[in-house]
Structures are given as C-alpha cells and as structure tokens.
A and B are shown apart, each in its own frame.
Chain A
C-alpha cells in the first residue's frame, strides 16, 4: 500500500501533457488521449481505470512507445523518451515491458514456449549459448510457477492462466524495471485471476518492480494499486491513493463508476443506488486541468470548481 510517510520517492515515469491523436487533422480524427499528466513513483503500482474507449490502453501503449505520441513528454528516469529512435530505443526496450490482455493472442502459436520466453534474451544478446539460454528459461519458468517440461510445448496446449504466466515470463526475461500490465486478468476465470494477481505481487516484491496496472475491474485495481487514476474520454478525471479514490471519490464520474461495481454480496446489491453520470458537464467549453483538492488528491476541475470539490472533501472528513 501507499507509503506517504516516506521521503519523496523517486519519479520513474513523468507524463506531461501527453496527447495521442489518431488520423490527426483528418475528418476521422480521434483524440484517444487528450492532454494527460501524471507521475509514477519507483516501486509503486499505479492503477489506471476506465471504461472501453476511455484511452487507458492507448496510454499504456504510448508510454511504451508502440505509438508515436502526437505531443507531450514522457520522461523515464528524467529522460524524455517520447521521441527516441533506433539505438536508444533498443536500450529503452529492456527497461520497460508489457503484459498483454488476451492470453490467446499474446503468444505466437507457431513458437515453442522456450522460444517465446527467450525472445528478449535473443534480441538483447543476454545469453551466450544454448545451455545458458535453456538455464535462464527454466529459471523464468520456475519464477512464474510453470513446470520445466512446459518449455518444449506450444501455446495452444495451455490454459488461459498458464499462458498469461508465459507472457509474464517473457516480459521478465529482459529484467525490466517497469512493467505495464494492460488488463492482464480480464480474460481469465475468477479462480485464476487471483493466482495471476498474487504472482504479479510476488514478483514485484522480489524484483522491486514498478507497475502501471490498466484495468476496468475496479475491485481488483483497488486491491493491487497504491495510487489510482480514473480515465474517461481520453482525460484523467481523478487521481489519488487507492483508498482515497474508493472511499472519498470527488468527481461525479468516479462516483458513478464506483456505484456500478457489482459486489458478491446480495444485501449490498439490493440496497445499491446507481449514480448516473452525465458527461455533458465535461463539454461546457471551460478549461479544466487536474487540480489538487486535498493533498495528494487531484480532480479535473476549473478554478471555480475547486472550492466545490474541497467542500465535498470536507464532508467526507466530517462523517
């Protein structure tokens, strides 16, 4: 959980005014990300929540440079990576890795498990010979809880959860410092989700990793994240520690989202009141940016709205 008490931790990622437009300048222009800024601290898990089309996956892919950002800065350890190319890029590729959503599409069906896992080792020449390569692959299989016999098998022989573990092993092979997990459990069964989440947590502790955890399942995000940003229509609506966002949501969109989360509790469900959200309040033409309402708790607001949000933050305290 969040360590607010510690001296300011080091910033690993700084995203500043990032914009990602597709088909820019054409009639079918899509503003997938529309000016977002946030920081990710070393060692934390930063949760990014949003519904489909909110731009959360695009954010992850822009940061890892699968897309070329339209404008803005992405700093990794203080160095702007939003425009790097070729040789620097290759170096950067070792530092940051991604775990994908669909365990059935994220593994090449024509490759053996050991070649999938060793792909990064081969690219970055991290092993000298085949024995070393096999040894490292076995080590990674152990790490993610798969048997060594699995190395010579093909992906289609595995279940969803096992495939996701193979994907995790592939990402870990290059010893990254930062991992973007793009909905890594949404395609898995409930009983398997917990296995994967526990694995991610264990590895984080063991290897001192930083995560950007992208998801739409709010209860899992709350569980795994230290801080959470809520995204909607390509913008960040609210950003704070996990418990703040869940217990003291300020933005009406966050409130609406939280009121819709189904919980395995019939009594709660019977008494649940959904809070509808009307997104026309975003389209009144006023300039909005993330404003710090209470320390560490940011909400997308105009200057005038700040005091309103502060008042509602007060209310939580009184309760």
Chain B
C-alpha cells in the first residue's frame, strides 16, 4: 500500500481548484433506453433454440394461413385409383421422394402402376383413399394452430380476468373462486368430452367447449398467485392512494406486470391444447372424417404403418416439431422475461 508516485506529471494547473461542478452531467443517463420488452427480446435472441423455434413456428403459421385459401390439391377429394402412392417430388430424383416403393422385395414405381400422368405427383404421397397427404397435413396443422389460438383465447378471456379478480378481491371471494376452480379441474377433460358427445356430434365444437371449461385453469391459478404478490407492491399501493379505480389498476399496473407470466403460460398451454385435440381425434372422438387433423392423420397412418410408414411419419414429425418448438420457445421466453430463474 505504499506510494506509487512513479510517472505522475504535474503542470501548473494541476492543483487549481475546480469551481464549477457539473453534477447534472453525472445524472445524465447515457445508455440507450431499453424498454422491458426490448430487454427481454435481447435476452431471447441469445437463446439459439428459442430463436430457431420461433422462426420454425413462424414458417408453420405462414403455411397454415396459406392453407386457408390454397392447398396443392383438395385435401378431401378422393381418387381411389391413386390410393397409397408414396411421396414423390418432380421427376422423383430426390431420395425418399422417388415415388417408388418396396413391394415384396422389389422396387416398384407406384406412380407408373397407378397410371398417374407424368407431371402429377404427391409430395407426401396419398392415403388409402387417394387423398393428397401434403394438403391434408397443411390442413391438419392449420387446425392444430386454430386449436392453439382458441386455447390462447380462453386463457386470455377467461383465465386472466378470473385470476386477477380472484387475487385482487382476496378474502371470501377468492376462496369461493378457488373452490370453483378446484371442482371443475377435478373432472378429467376426457370425461367432459365424452359427456359432450351426448349433447353434440363429435367435432371442433365439443373440443372447444371442453377447453373452454377447463383449459384456462392453470392460467387463472398462476395469474391469481402473481396478483396476490403484485397487489402488495408499493406502486399498486401508490395508485390506490392516488384514487385509481380497481379496473384501471388492473389495466395499468397488474396486467403489464403479469404480461411475462401470461405470455409464458400461453406458450405452454398451446402445445397442451394441440396435443389434446390430436389425442381426441386419434381415439376417434375428435374431428370427424373426412376432415384432416394431425390426430386423424396419425390414426389413419398408424393402421398401415408397417407397410406405408410415410403415412404416419410426416404427421408424427409435424406434431413433434410443433410441440417441441412451442416448448423451447416458452422456455426461452421464461428465461428472457425472468432473468432470475436462469442461474
């Protein structure tokens, strides 16, 4: 700790007193202003898996939107003559998309066998009724995303307000609302859908109603727990002392601070809903024939899996990718929004 007065150079002004201090200068914030979301996006960008998932999902969404107006061919049109054709692209040069299949040890050009005119081909092949599987997959994915969208809708429209009200009111109201949640969440989803079959024909309607009854419960619980902490935060108290109405407090203070919880939970509930629909369709009480959904595609493909594996591979891959992408993105978002959980 001795002096280190080695190469210090003084000049005549060195010991002149500085009269004016620019304290304001010090108080200036030089760093660019990052909003909370910009900061979260910055962290999210560091997570490669989440970024890849995001772009993958974006691509899938674009494809699904396109499928509303356009598919390579009519997904429900049957060409029995063209049944069970393997995948083929263009002239069949690409391995795996050659349009040939192994029948009893011999490679057979199925397209030639079925007398498909040259120039007509099915990218992912056809099913046992000769329907274009690529078009059906597009429709199926679109339906899955629709289900995901509806799940989000229920989360936001029922789950969030329910949780906010329950947490904010507290006391007896909270107890009642929580008991109600416990009661409906104690009934398995499957039971509700089966009961629905008594009222409706199987289809999108009953799936949506079942989700409407139970799908938002996790969201409501999370939001309530978060609201219970937020409402004791001093900025919420400050808003109350200023005379802000509870509704405005919810909009201005609670929801913005709940947004990370809400976004993350939504990202987790979408794949759950997608899987729920696929599962119902797979066991036959979901989307009815002839409509395509990932569940019905899997169900159909599964029957001929040993001979025509492509009929199951592609829908299975699609649902896996969608589920994994949503989960990875949700994980990434959680880390991005809540840096504390990272370490």
Interface residues of B in 281-330 (CB under 8 A from A): none
Chain B residues contacting A97 (CB-CB under 8 Å) are 241-242
Q: Are A89 and B27 in contact (CB under 8 A)?
A: no
From known contacts A66-B237, A123-B242, A123-B244, infer whether A108 and B36 are also in contact, taking CB-CB under 8 Å.
no
Contact of A153 among B29, B242, B253 (CB under 8 A): B29
| Nearest chain A CB to B48 CB, angstrom units | 26
Give Cα A107–Cα B234 distance, bound, in whole angstroms.
Answer: 7
* Contact, CB under 8 Å: B27 / A66: no
Report the Cα distance A174→B244, complex, angstroms.
13
CB of A108 within 8 A of CB of B235, answer: yes
Q: Which residues of B are at the interface with A, using a C-beta cutoff of 8 A?
A: 24, 27-29, 31, 33-36, 233-235, 237-244, 248, 252-253, 256-257, 259
* B28 in complex: contacting residue of A111, A147, A154, CB < 8 Å: A147
Contact A90 B243 (CB under 8 A): yes
* Contact pick for A119, options B28, B244, B257, B259, CB 8 Å: B244
Assess the B257–A66 pair: CB atoms within 8 A.
no
Residues in B neighbouring A167, C-beta threshold 8 A? 238
* A-B contacts, 20 listed (Cβ < 8 Å): A61-B237, A66-B241, A94-B243, A96-B241, A100-B234, A101-B234, A106-B235, A108-B252, A111-B252, A119-B244, A123-B243, A124-B243, A146-B27, A147-B27, A147-B28, A150-B29, A154-B34, A158-B29, A162-B27, A170-B238
Inter-chain contacts of A100 with B (CB < 8 A): 234, 237-238
- CB of A108 within 8 A of CB of B243, answer no
Which of A90, A97, A119, A154 is the most central at the interface, judged by chain B CB atoms within 10 Å of its CB? A119
Interface size class of A (residues with CB under 8 A): 35 or more
Q: Please determine whether B257 and A108 come into contact, CB atoms closer than 8 angstroms.
A: yes
Note all chain B residues with C-beta closer than 8 A to A107: 235
- Given contact pairs A97-B241, A119-B244, A153-B29, enumerate 7 new A-B contacts (beta carbons under 8 Å): A100-B237, A102-B234, A105-B234, A108-B252, A108-B257, A147-B28, A154-B33
Q: Is the CB of A109 within 8 A of B243?
A: no
Q: Are A157 and B238 in touch, CB under 8 angstroms?
A: no
Across the two chains, which residue of chain B brings its CB closest to A108?
B235
CB of A149 within 8 A of CB of B28, answer yes
Which of A's residues lie within 8 Å of B, judged by CB? 61, 64, 66, 89-90, 93-94, 96-98, 100-102, 105-111, 116, 119-120, 123-124, 146-147, 149-150, 152-154, 156-158, 162, 167, 170-171, 174
**Minimum CB distance partner of B253 in chain A:** A108
Bound complex: CA of A154 vs CA of B36, how far in Å?
8
Give every chain B residue within 8 A of A66 (Cβ-Cβ): 237, 240-241
Nearest-neighbour CB distance to chain A for B75, whole angstroms, equals: 44
- Chain A residues closer than 8 Å to B35, beta-carbon distance: 154
Q: Which residues of B contact A106 (CB under 8 A)?
A: 233-235, 238
B255 to chain A minimum Cβ distance, whole angstroms, is 9
Complex Cα spacing A309 to B29, Å:
56
What residues of B have a CB within 8 angstroms of the CB of A102 in the complex?
Answer: 234
**Nearest CB of B to A291, in Å:** 34
Q: Are A147 and B24 in contact (CB under 8 A)?
A: yes
Within 8 Å by CB of A157, from B33, B239, B244, lies B33
Q: Which residues of A contact B29 (CB under 8 A)?
A: 149-150, 153, 157-158
Contacts A89-B243, A149-B28, A162-B27 given: A109-B257 contact, CB under 8 Å? Answer: yes
Which residue among B36, B243, B253 has the maximum number of chain A CB atoms within 10 Å of its CB? B243
Return the chain A residue nearest B32 by Cβ: A157
CB distance from B309 to the nearest CB of A (A): 51
What distance in Å separates the Cβ of A125 from its nearest Cβ neighbour in chain B?
11
Q: Which of B36, B240, B244, B252 lies in contact with A109, CB distance below 8 A? A: B36
Closest to B239 in A: A119
A284 vs B174: C-alpha distance when bound (angstroms): 40
**Bound-state Cα–Cα, A109 to B256, Å:** 9
Instruction: Say whether B28 contacts A93, CB under 8 Å.
Output: no
Whose C-beta in chain B lies nearest to the C-beta of A105?
Answer: B234
Residues of A within 8 A of B27 (CB): 146-147, 162
Chain B residue, CB-CB nearest to A155: B235
Whether the pair B256, A108 counts as a contact (CB closer than 8 A) is yes
Minimum CB–CB distance for B313 against chain A, Å: 46
Residues of chain A contacted by B257 (CB below 8 angstroms): 108-110
Residues of chain B within 8 A (CB-CB) of A64 are 241
Please give the distance in Å from A191's CB to the nearest CB on chain B.
Answer: 13
Q: Give chain B residues whose Cβ lies under 8 Å from the Cβ of A154.
A: 33-36
A98 and B29 alpha carbons, distance in the complex (Å): 27
CB distance from A254 to the nearest CB of B (A): 29
Across the interface, which residues of B come within 8 angstroms of A101, CB to CB? 234
* Chain B hits for A108, CB < 8 A: 235, 252-253, 256-257
A256 to B326 alpha-carbon distance, docked (Å): 61
Question: Which residue of chain B has the shortest Cβ distance to A104 in the bound complex?
Answer: B234
Cβ-defined contact, A152 with B33, below 8 A: yes
Which residue of B24, B35, B235 has the most chain A CB atoms within 10 A of its CB atom?
Answer: B235
Chain A residues, CB < 8 A from B24: 147
Closest to A149 in B: B28
Q: Is the CB of B233 within 8 A of A105?
A: yes
In the assembled complex, the Cα of A28 lies from the Cα of B239 at a distance in Å of 29
Min distance, Cβ B178 to any Cβ of chain A, angstroms: 18
Q: Which residues of B contact A162 (CB under 8 A)?
A: 27
CA distance A93 to B244 in the complex (A): 9
* Contact residues in B for A158 (Cβ distance below 8 Å): 29
* C-alpha gap A66/B35 in the complex (Å): 31
* Docked complex Cα distance between A105 and B33 (Å): 20
The 8 lowest CB-CB distance pairs between A and B, nearest first, are A93-B243, A106-B234, A110-B256, A100-B234, A108-B235, A120-B242, A105-B234, A90-B243
